[in-house]
A and B are shown apart, each in its own frame.
Chain A
Amino acid sequence: MIKQELKNIDELRILREPVEGEMLVNMGPQHPSTHGVLNFLLVTDGEVMHRAVPHIGYLHRGIEKLAEQTEYAGFMPFTDRIDYLAAMAANQAYAMAVEKLAGYVVPERAEFLRVIACELNRIASHLVATGSMAMDIGAVTPFIHWIREREYINEITEELCGSRLTYNYCRIGGVSHDLPATLAGKILLWLDHFEPIIDEFDRLITHNEIFVHRLADVCAISAQNATGYGLVGPNLRASGVDWDLRRDKPYSVYDRFDFNIVLGKGFRGAVGDSYDRFVVRVLEMRESCKILRQALVALPAGEIRSKVPRVIKPPVGETYAAVEAPRGELGYYVVSDGVSSKPYRVKIRTGSFTAMSIIESLSKGVMIADLVAIIGSLDVVAPEVDR
């Protein structure tokens, strides 16, 4: 069993070598806290871990290869399946890449609707991330409370685009449905309800001393290490690196909104520890609420979809478009051969994949309970790792 799963023969020798007082534990793929299907091979000395080797690939579906078999417009639903918690960002990134390649212009209203949908989706994704993190630490209630709030978002997206999880909302050159006026009011009402609920969540779990002590100073990632391993998104910002695509490489209409980039400051421990990663996500939800309020007020009238030919054939070329997804920079690299209506190659760059690579180096000398906290705090989503 071990033989098949290891990366190379040297590693096998290291693990097979009987070391006094070490034991080998298989964590996953069916383990409650390996979010999705992941396998960790733990080399432990009792509760203290010597190393944890992540094994990925259980959820590999060959989505990049599938892109070469489907037409440009038809690949959109597949992007939903890359990260099931943040399908909207994947939609937007792919649409942006093809629009850039083919030179389509997106109407302003569509851009605003994309921003609204993405920010709602970011909140939903962070709800699951922070909630499941609390559940990994042992508190079940915050998770279910967050699932309840996510239900409200799901209802909103259901009314907006017809689906609760696999939105398929963006189209090349716009979005699929317009935002009904009643729904805009409902989003604002929900925001009024949601912001006090974040406070309640803070009182329930974020400021809980047991929770703080479980996460503070656990597996701090320095800014240098974070950039070195290519962490992106909230994980990178928690380490104090001021980098957010929404502000630094503004896409869509993000440059028109006033919002803060939340950075990890060592809220209760070292900068970049697990608690920082948790708090950064909670605070980012508040920033998303701010963006949503501004976007709903500034939403212009007009078309939601520009005229795009039914069969899209971009000219020869290649392009890269990235968005700030809830799990960090999500990029699509699309190559067109100019003759076919199918992409020649699509490469997807996801945040979870790089977050996964840092786990092995972080896991030295921590306890098994801490490993669960790291996986939770890095917000690894298995299908996004494997694609």
Chain B
Amino acid sequence: MWKLTQEFIHKFIPAFEHAWLAYIAGALVAALALLAFASLFAGLASYVERRIAGRIMSRVGPNRVGPQGLFQFVADGLKLVMKEDLVPAGADPILFRIAPYFVFAGMFGTFVVLPFGAHLVAADLDVGIFYLMAITSFVVLGIMLGGWSSNSKWSLFGGLRSAAQIISYEIPAGIALLSVAIFAGTLSTQGIINAQGGLPWDWFAFHSPFSLVAFVIYFIAALAEGNRTPFDLPEAESELVAGYCTEYSGFRFVVFFFAEWANLWIMSAISVLCFLGGWKIPFVNAPEAYSGWLWILLGFVIFSVKTLALVTVVMQLRWTLPRFRLDQMMNLCWKYLIPGAFAALLGTMTVMALFSWDSPAGIAIRFCTFLVGALVVLYYIWRIVANYRADSANYKKLTGQSMWYPPWRLP
């Protein structure tokens, strides 16, 4: 993205004739654009999550501020910013104050390599995926510091749980992404997307059954790294009050929550770019997709739709599942995910060595794996309809109203 902004700046502002000035200006513009995107997404995600949670629980959700309660997140943010920024007695004042910014930095740093479409990436680093894995570890530092410096035992529990969790789950996540890197032959995020195609069976997730496993494992590990249910042990509200952010208030609390919701986009976007074809447009080859603004925009829309679909899945998981216990969380990681990730890695490599991408056998495997995925989705839809039907007649008899109610309508 900074390349584009650089060109733009070169074209229209001649004062920036020095390359380094243009570089800095471009980086600043890109950073501001990304920050604006992240903030807006985090706010809207919090709103959408509350609406979805509301309807899942047969409630309404936010509905007062703005049309459909759309500006609830602005009101909440303002309220929190205006609150007193409390530092508890006995807390380490410096560490307590800077801890949220570690979390923020770890979260925001990932946006550097996250692509949004063709050309639309702040910096297409050659070590993209590796950089992603490295920078997200920053988050654990912030959470641990926040938990420890709060001088509260509940915060300490939360911080340590988080450390154990994030460090453990980086292993299966890393191995799952390793299979992607081997497949694409590059660590660059754009390179990985370019190695995949636009149609579902050209996605890496459906490359072979093993890569499907790798996708699932990466998704679970990403949930754990993002502290989302069922891995929300660090902030388990029924056990640890609020975990590492128990003692935080005001703006610092906003930063924690901002990071959590922006993280939704990050974990989903990484899954999409590595496993679900990124911004690739079906039936359009790579040079063409890079050529025009419309194609780039279409690519951006495709990427966003896929990512938002995953985001809603993550939200729905949160309101469906109970929480793991600490030892079970570790069991899952070390006994299931890590062996599974290694098996997936070996399997993917074997399939890759035996059947090349375009050989008939390779295409057949990809297509069959896609069918498996499609069958799971169909089964899921059938279960949704069955669950809906199970009560609709009785509900109508009881209340005299039809049970159907579209998700966007407010009562």
Contacts and interface: CB of A to CB of B under 8 A. Distances in A.
Q: Do chains A and B touch in the complex (CB under 8 A)?
A: yes
Interface of A: 23, 25, 31-33, 46-47, 134-141, 144-145, 148, 152, 186, 189-190, 192-193, 196-197, 199-200, 203-205, 208, 210-211, 213-214, 367-370, 372
Given A33-B238, A144-B58, A196-B390, A47 B322 contact: no
Nearest to B320: A141
B81 interface: no
Given A139-B322, A369-B239, 4 more contacts: A32-B238, A138-B230, A144-B59, A372-B239
A200 B387 contact: yes
Contacts of B324: 210, 214
A367 B324 CA distance: 12
A372 B58 contact: no
Given A138-B238, A139-B321, A189-B398, A47 B157 contact: yes
Given A141-B56, A190-B398, A369-B326, A32 B321 contact: no
Nearest to B327: A367
B239 A33 contact: yes
Given A32-B238, A368-B157, A369-B239, A208 B57 contact: no
Contacts of A196: 390-391, 394
B398 A140 contact: no
A31 B242 CA distance: 10
Contacts of B64: none
Contacts of B232: 138
B241 A210 contact: no
A308 to B, nearest CB: 37
23 contacts: A33-B239, A47-B161, A138-B229, A138-B238, A138-B321, A139-B320, A139-B323, A144-B57, A145-B57, A193-B398, A196-B394, A200-B390, A204-B320, A208-B321, A210-B323, A210-B324, A214-B324, A367-B325, A368-B239, A368-B240, A369-B323, A369-B325, A369-B326
A135 B238 contact: yes
B319 A370 contact: no
A192 B241 CA distance: 39
Contact of A32 (B59, B161, B237, B319): B237
A31 B241 contact: yes
B328 interface: yes
B409 interface: no
Contact of B57 (A141, A152, A210): A141
B236 A140 contact: no
Interface of B: 53, 56-59, 153-154, 157, 160-161, 229-230, 232-233, 236-241, 319-328, 387, 390-391, 394-395, 397-398
Nearest to B387: A200
B328 A47 contact: no
A47 B324 CA distance: 14
A372 B157 CA distance: 15
A267 B131 CA distance: 47
A227 B326 CA distance: 32
A192 B397 CA distance: 9
B326 A47 contact: yes
Contacts of A190: 398
A370 B58 CA distance: 29
A328 B92 CA distance: 49
B324 to A, nearest CB: 6
Residue among B160, B161, B230 with most chain A CB within 10 A: B230
A148 B60 CA distance: 13
Contact of A367 (B238, B326, B387, B394): B326
Contacts of A205: 322
A138 B236 CA distance: 7
A203 B387 contact: yes
B391 A145 contact: no
A186 B240 CA distance: 42
Contact of A148 (B58, B236, B390): B58
Given A145-B58, A214-B328, A367-B325, A193 B229 contact: no
A84 B372 CA distance: 51
Nearest to B58: A148
Contacts of A47: 157, 161, 326
A141 B322 CA distance: 9
B153 A372 contact: no
Most A CB contacts (10 A, CB to CB) among B160, B161, B322 go to B322
Nearest to A30: B241
